[in-house]
Amino acid sequence: MENLKKIAQKMVADGKGILAADESTPTCSNRFKSVGVESTEESRNNYRSLLFSTKNLNKYISGVILFQETFNQKQKSTNQTIPDYLKNNNILSGIKLDTGAKILANHSPEKITEGLDGLREKIIEYRSKGASFAKWRAVITIGKDIPTPTCISANCHALARYASLCQENGLVPIVEPEVLMNGEHTAEKCQKISNDTLKTLFHQLELFKVDLEAIILKPNMILPGDKSNQKISNKDIAKLTFDVLYKNVPPTVPGIAFLSGGQSSDNATKRLNELNKLYNNHKPWSLTFSYGRALQEDALKEWANKNEKKAQDALIYRAEKNHFASLGEI
């Protein structure tokens, strides 16, 4: 377990964050379609190889979360496996282990994340191929009469089982309980649901004897729904977010790496910066980033325009910005 604790610390070292490049094939295909690029195994490999070969990426990125397809591909420039290439550039490799969210029986439209069957064997396989950490995402939707306690409990139970299996078999688990931004709810409603979710999650982690010094929490920020008309400042978002985390996340957790969750690239950075600027002297854990679209969006557009250098420049620009935001120095 001591080695896992060291890996967790490395993942959230000061000024470093995690690049989420684990979009499933359908999600990646939708993003490619939005910029006019055909999604094939080859084109996805080309794009991600370009991202990973960005100069100085390891100054700001400690690890990359990979989708199963990418994990088993080779880096275009060197013909090494992608995990080996990242390792040689001092970047840790992680693997998305869940198999997606499906309708929770008798609770439609709520969802439960699946993938526990055969998970121990998958963890052992990916660790042998070079993984240092893993990710599992649960989704909690706010709407009329939802989420139910059943949905929160079932998803937190699955997250805890996953985390326990990861630690048992040598991977640091990223635990991602995402309260979705979709909806008309207020930020205060998001805070209440996030509070209930985190409280349930850490109770389940305790039941499954998960060592909190060897996990990374990947939560949402506290935000109004994307269809809400609520006006709220970044300072208030930071306050609501910090309050719910401080109340529920034990200080033994080494780091909290926020998901961007539909925020614009600029907003995700500004709000992370505000959190660190306001609470730098009060936070017991590192507050950093684990962004997908908020790091990649500009780079994807440039790559689609066949400008590889501009694509890499766009990625490193966003990575550097979030580096400073995780220090509260913007």
Positions annotated as catalytic residues are 176, 218
Within 13 Å, how many C-alpha atoms sit on residue 260's CB side? Answer: 24
- Count helices and strands (H / E) in the chain: 12, 10
Measuring CA to CA, how many Å separate 78 from each of 85, 86, 311? 8, 11, 19
CA–CA separation, 145 vs 43, rounded Å? 42
Strands 133-140 and 92-96: what pairing?
parallel
Number of Cβ within a 10 Å radius of residue 103: 11
Q: What is the DSSP string of 70-89?
A: HHTSB-TTT-SBHHHHHHHT
In the chain, the N- to C-terminal Cα span, in Å, equals 36
Helix axis angle, 41-52 to 308-325, nearest 10°: 50
